[in-house]
Amino acid sequence: MRIQILTLFHRNPGLVGTSVELAQAIGRNPVTVAEQVRKLAQLRILEEVEVRGEAAYRYLPPRSVAAGGVVEGSRFPETN
């Protein structure tokens, strides 16, 4: 199920949705999706934000990629 959730975010850049909205989008049980998105947020793959007073989730790009840097230990040098 985590793969389905991450695929949804991959196919919809900028998506921000509640666990119920995400569950509807992938056709899964909202309670189960809520558990999985919380775990993905704990792993810092998703970010929990508040939208209209509800917990919502969005994809959180890795810091090194978002900042334009490289992952520590990468074989590829940073290019500017």
Around Cβ 17, how many Cβ atoms within 10 Å? Answer: 21
For the chain, the average pLDDT equals: 87
Looking at residue 78, its pLDDT comes to 54
Which residues, at least 6 apart from 76, have a Cβ–Cβ distance to it below 8 Å?
70
Q: Is residue 75 over pLDDT 70? A: no
Residue ranges and CATH numbers for the domains of the chain are 2-63 (1.10.10.10)
pLDDT tens-place string over residues 44-61? 999 999 999 999 999 998
- Average pLDDT (16-24) is 98
pLDDT tens-place string over residues 58-71? 999 887 555 555 55
